[in-house]
């Protein structure tokens, strides 16, 4: 159980990084980091975006983070 909790916490930090990167101006450094973070988060964000109503897709990252927090509390 400890390993799962640790992995969930690590992934939640990656999701937070994804949220914060959207606020930064695009340059070579942020573009490179965003590409790597997107590769890790997009497989879970895509189905969430598809499930959210039209116009709410921008909240997918927050929904994923909230789901991770709830899951960590349950474990």
pTM here?
Answer: 0.87
Number of domains in the chain: 1
Percent of the chain with pLDDT over 70: 99
Report whether 75 contacts 5 (CB < 8 A). yes
Report whether 40 contacts 15 (CB < 8 A). no
Residue 41: pLDDT band (50, 70, 90) is: very high
* Backbone conformation region of residue 44, classed left if phi is above 0, alpha if psi is from -120 to 50, else beta: alpha
Domain containing 23 equals: 2-74
Report whether 61 contacts 41 (CB < 8 A). yes
Report whether 10 contacts 67 (CB < 8 A). no
């Amino acid at each position: 159980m400890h390993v799962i909790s640790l992995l969930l916490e690590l992934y939640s930090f990656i999701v937070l990084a994804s949220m914060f990167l959207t606020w930064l101006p695009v340059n070579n450094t942020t573009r490179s980091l965003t590409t790597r973070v997107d590769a890790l988060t997009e497989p879970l964000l895509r189905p969430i975006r598809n499930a959210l109503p039209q116009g709410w897709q921008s909240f997918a990252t927050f929904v994923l983070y909230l789901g991770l927090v709830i899951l960590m509390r349950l474990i």
